[in-house]
C-alpha cells in the first residue's frame, strides 16, 4: 500500500538518492545535490509560509516525492515531483496520489495558482501535467516572484 506522508528528517538521504538517481542516471542530467540546496535542507526551503514537502512510501521505502514552495499571493511552485522508475504507472498511481495531496494542500491553504518549470526532455511529465489540468505557458507569463530554476525551459500553470 502506498502511503503519502509529510517529509521527516530521517528520510533526507533516501529523498536525495531517489531524485539524483532519476536526474543523473535515468535522464543524464549533470546535476548534483550541491546544485540543489533545497535537497540538502528540505525544511528550510519547503516548510516556509504554506509550503510543504511529501514523500510516497511503499513498504517503508521512499519511492516518490513532491514539494510546494509558497511564493506569496496565493501562488505555489511545484518542485521535486519524482517517482522511482519501477513504481511509475497507473497501476500504483503514485504520481497521481502525490499531485492530489499537493492540490488538496493548496486548496486548503487558499492557493490560487500552482506554477512549475521543467525541461523539454521530460515528455512523460508534460503529458502528466497536461492530463491533470496544467496549461503550458511562456516564461514571460510567470509571476515575477516565481522562484525560477536556471535549467527550466518549459513552464506550466494550474489555476484553482
Confidence band for 122, pLDDT divided at 50, 70 and 90: confident
pLDDT(31) > 90: no
Name every residue whose Cβ is closer than 8 Å to that of residue 103 and which is 6 or more positions away in sequence: 114, 158
Q: Based on the number of CB atoms within 10 Å of its own CB, is 82 exposed (0-12), middle (13-18) or buried (19 or more)? A: buried
Mean pLDDT over 36-47 rounds to 95
Task: Output the nine-digit C-alpha cell for 143.
Answer: 509571476
pLDDT digits (tens, 9 = 90+) for 54-102: 999 999 999 999 999 999 999 999 999 999 999 998 899 999 999 999 9
- Expressed as residue numbers, the domain containing 137 is 2-159
Q: How many domains does the chain have?
A: 1
Note the pLDDT of residue 149: 86
Q: What percent of the chain has pLDDT over 70?
A: 100
How far apart are the C-alpha atoms of 151 and 137, rounded to whole Å? 16
Output the pLDDT for position 82: 96
The CATH number covering residue 63 comes to: 3.40.630.30
Q: What is the pLDDT of residue 142?
A: 97
pLDDT tier at 150 (50, 70, 90 boundaries)?
confident
The mean pLDDT of 25-47, rounded to a whole number, is: 92
Mean pLDDT of the chain, nearest integer: 95
- Quote the CA–CA distance of 64 and 11 in Å, as a whole number: 12
Q: Name the grid cell of 113.
A: 495558482
Amino acid at each position: 500500500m502506498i502511503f503519502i506522508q509529510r517529509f521527516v528528517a530521517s528520510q533526507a538521504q533516501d529523498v536525495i538518492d531517489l531524485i539524483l538517481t532519476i536526474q543523473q542516471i535515468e535522464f543524464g542530467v549533470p546535476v548534483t545535490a550541491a546544485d540543489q540546496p533545497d535537497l540538502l535542507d528540505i525544511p528550510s526551503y519547503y516548510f516556509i509560509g504554506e509550503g510543504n514537502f511529501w514523500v510516497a512510501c511503499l513498504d517503508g521505502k521512499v519511492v516518490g516525492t513532491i514539494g510546494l514552495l509558497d511564493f506569496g499571493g496565493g501562488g505555489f511552485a511545484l518542485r521535486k515531483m519524482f517517482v522511482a522508475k519501477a513504481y511509475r504507472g497507473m497501476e500504483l498511481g503514485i504520481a497521481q496520489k502525490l499531485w492530489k495531496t499537493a492540490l488538496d494542500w493548496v486548496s486548503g491553504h487558499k492557493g490560487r495558482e500552482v506554477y512549475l518549470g521543467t525541461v523539454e526532455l521530460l515528455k512523460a511529465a508534460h503529458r502528466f501535467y497536461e492530463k491533470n489540468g496544467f496549461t503550458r505557458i511562456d516564461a514571460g507569463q510567470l509571476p515575477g516572484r516565481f522562484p525560477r530554476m536556471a535549467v527550466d525551459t518549459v513552464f506550466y500553470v494550474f489555476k484553482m
